[in-house]
Chain A
């Protein structure tokens, strides 16, 4: 069983998602399950529910998964993806209301300390502009 909350990064741009994941890895290390996705089902800028579901499964941890998103469609698609998970997993995934880069780094830092999903989300959401 993975001990720490997993982090999923969802951007309209695969480059931003991958870059954000690189920053998380460099700053937080390998202690946190991490996955990213970006781009729409046709390969353009956008997000894909299917890819988000796959990223959640990849970063899955018994403690849950926190998702960081960039713009509106990424949030809507992430919420849709969460709803399409099995019932017992659905309860343990949250979409954080936080800026994607800062939120991902802060969430991963919190997660690496073994914190709960709620704590991880709270820490990420502290980065939200007032």
Chain B
């Protein structure tokens, strides 16, 4: 299985537009428990990605993912720039050009490890990792997961961060008061998974 240029363009475009369309929501979530710039930062990063869409569509998928990672690192700012940058760079480094369900699961696993190292964080600390880990489990248990399954896992996982207490990042300064709000990074990760599911379903 390979991703052709047309599908690749659609994936990048859909993920970017999904994040941009929800930028205000991400900022609102971040205002509750962080420094209130997550949506602004992510919009800037993904607008930069969109501006290079033609070039990115022509690259192989791993190369495109690496280029997206570097772009996000350079343009997003905040902690989410290096964290999402590391995720995309990690996927690009680990994915083969010839895809399989197993290869995707392995690449995602190694990219998640890189994000853990970058953020000095782990599952259960109210971060994007709390969405990435269950999504990985889903891909591992079923190498060809149904899009609606992926979407449901991601959305539920983001919602499961609401009762969590933040241990890392700005939200951790709030301690107990971080409980009761969805983590903005978990939400942005879920948005990306939802966008990928949309493309898989041919909704776009």
Which of A20-28, A39-47, A59-67, A110-118 has 4 or more CB atoms under 8 Å from chain B? A39-47
> Which chain A residue lies CB-closest to B82?
A80
Question: At the interface, yes or no: B143 with Cβ under 8 Å from chain A?
Answer: no
Which of B71-79, B147-155, B187-195 has 4 or more CB atoms under 8 Å from chain A? B71-79
Of residues B75, B81, B85, B118, which shows the largest number of chain A Cβ atoms within 10 Å of its Cβ? B81
Q: Once the chains bind, are A46 and B78 in contact (CB under 8 Å)?
A: yes
Q: Is the interface of B mostly helix, strand, loop or mixed?
A: helix
B83 contacts across to A, CB distance below 8 A: 76
Q: Once the chains bind, are B82 and A42 in contact (CB under 8 Å)?
A: no
Number of residues in A with C-beta < 8 Å to the partner? 18
Question: At the interface, yes or no: A50 with Cβ under 8 Å from chain B?
Answer: yes
Question: At the interface, yes or no: B124 with Cβ under 8 Å from chain A?
Answer: no
Q: Which of A44, A72, A84 contacts B37 (CB 8 A)?
A: A44
Q: Once the chains bind, are B82 and A77 in contact (CB under 8 Å)?
A: yes
Number of A-B residue pairs having CB atoms within 8 Å of each other in the complex: 61
If A49-B81, A72-B79 touch, whether A41 touches B37 (CB-CB below 8 Å) is: no
B169 contacts across to A, CB distance below 8 A: 72
Q: Which of A41, A45, A80 contacts B44 (CB 8 A)?
A: A41
B85 contacts across to A, CB distance below 8 A: 80
Q: Once the chains bind, are B78 and A40 in contact (CB under 8 Å)?
A: yes
If A49-B81, A76-B119 touch, whether A41 touches B170 (CB-CB below 8 Å) is: no
B78 contacts across to A, CB distance below 8 A: 40, 46-47, 73, 77
B81 contacts across to A, CB distance below 8 A: 49, 73, 77, 80
A47 contacts across to B, CB distance below 8 A: 77-78
Q: How large is the interface on B (under 10, 10 to 19, 20 to 34, 35 or more residues)?
A: 20 to 34
Question: At the interface, yes or no: A125 with Cβ under 8 Å from chain B?
Answer: no
Complex Cα spacing A48 to B44, Å: 12
Question: At the interface, yes or no: A79 with Cβ under 8 Å from chain B?
Answer: yes
Complex Cα spacing A25 to B173, Å: 32
**Chain A contacts to B: CB under 8 angstroms:** 40-42, 44-50, 71-73, 76-77, 79-80, 84
A-B residue pairs in contact (CB < 8 Å), sample of 29: A40-B37, A40-B77, A41-B74, A41-B77, A42-B41, A42-B44, A44-B40, A44-B77, A45-B35, A47-B78, A49-B73, A49-B81, A50-B74, A72-B169, A72-B170, A73-B78, A73-B79, A73-B80, A73-B81, A76-B79, A76-B82, A76-B118, A77-B78, A77-B82, A79-B118, A80-B82, A80-B85, A80-B118, A84-B73
